[in-house]
Structure 1
Amino acid sequence: MTEEKEEQPDDQQEAEKETEGVRLHMVTWNVATADPPADVASLLHLNSPKTADLYVIGLQEVYSGPLRFVSDMIFDDPWSQLFISTLAPRGYVKGNKGGVSVRLSFYGHMLCFLNCHLAAHMNYASERVEEFEYIMETQTFDCKKAPRIVDHRLVFWFGDLNFRIQDHGMHFIRSCINNQTYDLLWSRDQLTMLKKKEPLLQDFEEGPLDFQPSYKFDLNSDTYDSRLYASWFGFNAKKRKPAWTDRILWRVRPKSPPPEEQNVLKERKHNEEEEHPLQVRLNLYTSKMEYSVSDHKPVIGVFTLEVGFGGVSDYITYAWVKDNEAAFNGELMQVFVSKEEIPVRGGDCVLCYYSNNLRSIIGVSEPFKVQESKVAVAEGLFPERISRLDEMTRNQEF
């Protein structure tokens, strides 16, 4: 079983650049109430030389019958057990089953992962958009920085979105799939069509649909729907046409316009976007054909996230605050800094959280201003004299 080749950098500079980013591995899979397969190593690329830093897995139609519901109250459902046992050695974050959104802070940027299962059937494309808009409008968070999904710096929207390929007949669609001429189907993909006229959808990006549609398959096979369905009057209903129902999209919040002079919050957000840009690079987007327990194939997306946030050496000065110099009081954090380490000429500062285990900055506060010390400047106490950065660096105390 081979793993897909990811997008390769054009030169050595790009290769070095890729190592600096955070690697995100996403999975969406409508499991159609089936029991999980024995192994998901290929799905998660566990044998790949490029290991993921973060896994985000969204499942739809996990079986929730009465007996299973009672057992799930005591134990994790078998799908969760499978992924947890596989990823436990690497650490994991798990969300609830069904429609769910998860948010987190990533190097000071607010990220949101929205897993959806939208209305089915060919003729309900508009209803799917309405459902998505309703979710975006009504889902709120207790967070001043990002109270709504659209307020997050980066949103991943994924799941069984159920958009179909319309107008084309079964024979043409299957012929394009067999010949791998997927691009002939793109113009009639409902989501692609709706993105041209729905403002909310236009902000979302997606990789090329250059892989086999993930729906609908006969169970335990790679054969697209071949069964005959009984209709209300006993006639055989049409087979389901293949479609890219399972998708992964992302939205980087559009840059805010230059702020008005008196609007401090807008100015802070604008400066953050300019100084610490967040970039998303798609490395791989495909369906995984070897998994056949469901009538859907799982779809994966592998991304590299890069933050334009330099190391501490990029700054004029900084103060090193140890654990015993920080205090927590509920949600309030107090940090005690020696006056000798405060830049006397003032300036815009941020408070960073540095992880010794990861050896990197993993959290950044909102910028705050330090006022210039008129007394220190008058006495000639310049920053290079008062800050111990250079001395600490030379003596390797840092």
Structure 2
Amino acid sequence: MVDFIDYEQTEPRQRATAVSSDDVHIKLDDWSVVGQSTVHDYGEDWVTYGRETAVHRALNQRKNEFTNLQPCRVLCVTWNVNGQLPSEDLDTLLSVDDRPADVICVGFQELDLSPETLLLMNDSSKELMWMEKMKAGLPKGVSYKLLKHIRLVGILLVVYVRESMISRVSEVYIGSVSTGIMGMLGNKGGVSIKFNIDMTTISIVNSHLAAHQEMVERRNQDYRDIFTKMRFDNDEANTLKNCDIVVWIGDLNYRVSEDEITGEEIRALAEKWEIGPLLRFDQLREQRNKHLVFEEFVEDTINFMPTYKYNPGTDKFDTSEKCRTPAWCDRILWKSNTVLKCEDYRSHPIHKLSDHKPVSAVLLVQTRVVDVQKKQLVLDEILKDLDRIANDSLPQAALNRTELNFDGVKYLEAQEQPITLQNTGTDLFEFEFIPKLEDRSICAPWLRIEPQKGVVDPGNVMIINFTVYIDNRALKTIGPDRKLDEILVLHLVNGKDYFISVSGYLVQTSFGRKITDLVRIPDPIRRQNLLVDIEQSPDEVKVDEESPVALNIPKELWRIVDYLYQHALFEEELFAVRGSPMDIGAVRDAIDTDGPIQVSSIHSVAESLILFLDSFPDPVIPYEHYPVCLEYCTHFANSKRALRNMDFSHRNVFKYICAFLREILSHSERNRSNAKFLSQVFGDVLLKPQLPEAGNVAKSTSKKRSLFVYQFLTNDYDE
């Protein structure tokens, strides 16, 4: 019987005690984050501040002199269980060979496919059943502790650690990123558990990326979103970038490309076990070779059959009507700045309950353990060397330019330009962008700077990237002339300030305009002659506020909905699958110029509809009517009365959207649409509070918004 102890209920291990030498204080376990100083109070003694940073960097360079390597065996398992109950034992899955692992990491996808879990992110009874099954399947004769677990809808990650090793574990954090449509749904995304073993930081990421053969770009974007947006315990500084080891497991959904080979040929090669020729067409390998995804990650040699898609309960590839072609959807990759070796990488075909086969990898990791006495000796040597360095000179820097101009910025399309900052002095210096005297923030909401602070060694160059990105929040800060104008202050610690000017203009778009404006603009909002200098034509599209002539609904809305009506009534998973960013930009340009809508995926048009409705400064249900609509969300007669009190244009848009959604629901036998799901998606777009809501209030009002829309999707309304 396995001695099972729940580590999540125990007290966290305390960090090692800090030691000091002279006037510089260095924590014994800080060497793994060397060079990432987080000091914010510069004070008067800039010499000591610079000195401490130098000590951190020197310790990092000499860490081999005061650390020893300790082996740690990590077993990682990923399995898409297709919403099934745990009817199979997991003993062979959690004990790959005769040597039990020190750390066992198990990631499930599609743990629970029920609508309640998908829409409301409720607790899942299946989670408890699978947790019990894993507990029973742990290697016999070894005591394990449950370190941590985290679930995002159907994505579950669980980490166990040997009880004998638990004293070597510290700093346990969790994080999650949803990549479902508009980030509102957790049906796709990733979860992560980060922890230290000795002085080595390890993060395990379990992800479920976008599905379907053609959605390669969407999968790439999902990976980038998860990697860049993952924050542990909501700490902006606690990210995947400052981990020694990142192991990425999950249903990555990359398929075998059918550009040069047919589905029949793929199936034939798979059934003959001709893995080598088939892997030439693996999408993940293709994208990694092009350096588009999983840069710096490593994957061991694949010597197993494709893991998807099987007839559940069998070892036969899919024979259903869709007849999905075999693919290695389920993968395990890693990146490491320490010693790591993969001892075993395999699938487990004996498990048949799902349409996926589980995959496991055994990783041998060498973790670093600090020898305190040796480290103190190295620290003393470093401090003596630094004492001989004169800190009597100011930092010297040079910028390759101080003006940035962004021409033709488009809504929801990022533009990026770099500036190089060179250290021309003899000492390292630290820099930081700071607010102007009258401002609280360092830049306008439409501008991002990366990095905002840093350290540059003598003779070295730091590349600073400036990205202009206009979303709904930024759009509200831009005037009617659409000019972008900002002055940035780059400050050198104990040195001078540099001023960088950023200018540009936003290309005219119907996104972000008022409904009452759009119905009074009969022509396309952007013409060919608009692509001229903003100084010559600050705002070519005029709205005649006094004109009695108005369209019933914005023409742009009609074009998007009409396209979906013509092409998407029978499409499954409509509004549940994210589109391509490139396609969404093409849809926006098409409706702004009256050009043809040409996309690679109908889901891009569906997401464009959501984004268009979400961009209105005053929502479809205006802010002033929001409270009464929530009050009447369960009473259809009162809801209709509330709608009649609204502005003509807003009321027409709401009726038009609901009529279109009812048309989709009328074909539910073919498209598998669901009124509750559509109400959830559109409720949070058509009705929005004027001020942010949080906690239980946000959950309650979200449900009421959904119920209000549900009334109009399940009842005819032609008034």
Using structure 1 for the length normalisation, give the TM-score: 0.62
Q: Which residue of 1 aligns with 2:359?
A: 299
Query: Whole-Å Cα distance in 2 between the matches of residues 182 and 38 of structure 1?
Result: 28
The aligned runs of 1:60-71 (5 Å cut-off) are 60-63=109-112, 65=114
Match in the other structure for 1:86: 137
Contact 1:110-1:146 at 8 Å conserved across structures? no
| Secondary structure in structure 1 of the residue aligned to 2:146 | coil
Aligned-residue identity in percent: 27
Output the CA distance in 2 between the equivalents of 1:130 and 1:35: 31
1:241 is paired with a residue of what secondary structure?
A: coil
- Partner residue of 2:329 out of 245, 258, 262: 245
SS at match of 1:77: helix
1:37 is matched with: 87
Q: Which residue of 2 aligns with 1:126?
A: 217
For 1:74 and 1:369, how far apart are their aligned partners in 2?
56
Question: Does residue 154 in structure 1 map to residue 245 in structure 2?
Answer: yes
Q: Please state how far the C-alpha of 1:370 moved relative to its aligned partner.
A: 7.5
Structure 1 residues 66, 117: closer, same or farther in 2, change over 3 A? closer
Q: Quick check: 1:25 aligned with 2:75? A: yes
Separation in 2 of the partners of 1:147 and 1:199? 24
Greater helix fraction, Structure 1 or Structure 2: 2
| Paired residue total | 273
Deviation per residue, 1:252-279 (Å, 9 max, x gap): 25xxxxxxxxxxxxxxxxxxxxxxxx21
- Structure 1 residues 73 and 205, CA gap change in structure 2 (3 angstroms): closer
Question: Deviation of residue 151 (structure 1)?
Answer: 2.0
2:281 to 159, 173, 188: 188
Is the CA contact (8 Å cut-off) linking 1:225 and 1:241 kept in structure 2?
Answer: yes
Do 2:85 and 2:126's aligned partners in 1 also have CA atoms closer than 8 Å?
Answer: no
Which residue identity does 1:115 align to in structure 2? N
Distance between the aligned counterparts of 1:143 and 1:34, measured in 2? 32
2:207 paired residue number: 116
Cα shift at 1:74: 8.0
Structure 2 counterpart of 1:348, from 372, 379, 388:
379
The one-character-per-residue Cα deviations of 1:277-298 (angstroms, maximum 9, x if unpaired) are x211011111100001100000
Name the CA shift for 1:303/1:145 in 2 (closer, same or farther; >3 Å): farther
Distance 1:371 1:84, change over 3 A: farther
For residues 189-239 of structure 1, what are the alpha-carbon distances to aligned partners after superposition, in whole Å with 9 as ceiling and x for unaligned?
A: 11100012235522111011211010000010000001224xxxxxxxxx1
* Structure 2, unpaired ranges of 5+: 1-68, 156-189, 386-719
The answer to whether the Cα contact below 8 Å between 2:199 and 2:369 also exists between their aligned partners in 1 is no
Map 1:130-279 onto structure 2 (within 5 A): 130-141=221-232, 147-167=238-258, 168-229=261-322, 239-253=323-337, 278-279=338-339
Q: What do the CA deviations read for 1:105-125 (whole angstroms, capped 9, x no partner)?
A: 122121111110011000001
Q: Secondary structure at the match of 1:305?
A: strand
Check the 8 A contact 1:146/1:152 in 2, yes or no: no
Cα-to-partner distance string for 1:308-353 (whole Å, 9 max, x where unaligned): 658x5xx8669xxxxxxxxxxxxxxxxxxxxxxxx7xx5428xxxx
| Equivalent of 2:104 in 15, 30, 55 | 55
CA contact under 8 A between 1:220 and 1:292: conserved in structure 2? yes
Rg (Cα) greater in structure: 2
For structure 1, the 5+ residue unaligned runs are 1-18, 230-238, 254-277, 319-342, 350-367, 373-398
**SS of corresponding position for 1:91:** strand
Deviation at 1:153, TM superposition (A): 1.2
CA deviations 1:56-93 (Å, max 9, x no partner) are 00000011537889995789521112113333942233
Cα gap change, 1:73 to 1:196, in 2 (>3 Å): closer
| Aligned residues of 1:101 and 1:115 also touching (Cα < 8 A) | yes
1:149–1:155 CA contact under 8 A, matched in 2 = yes
**1:365-384 residue pairs with structure 2 within 5 A?**
none
Kept in 2, the 8 Å contact 1:24–1:304? The answer is yes
Aligned-partner SS, 1:21 = strand
Indicate how the Cα distance of structure 1 residues 252 and 64 shifts in structure 2: closer, same or farther if over 3 A, else same: same
SS in 2 for 1:84: helix
The whole-number CA distance in structure 2 between the counterparts of 1:159 and 1:96 is 14
Amino acid at match of 1:38: E
Write the distance in 2 (CA, Å) between the matches of 1:162 and 1:245.
4
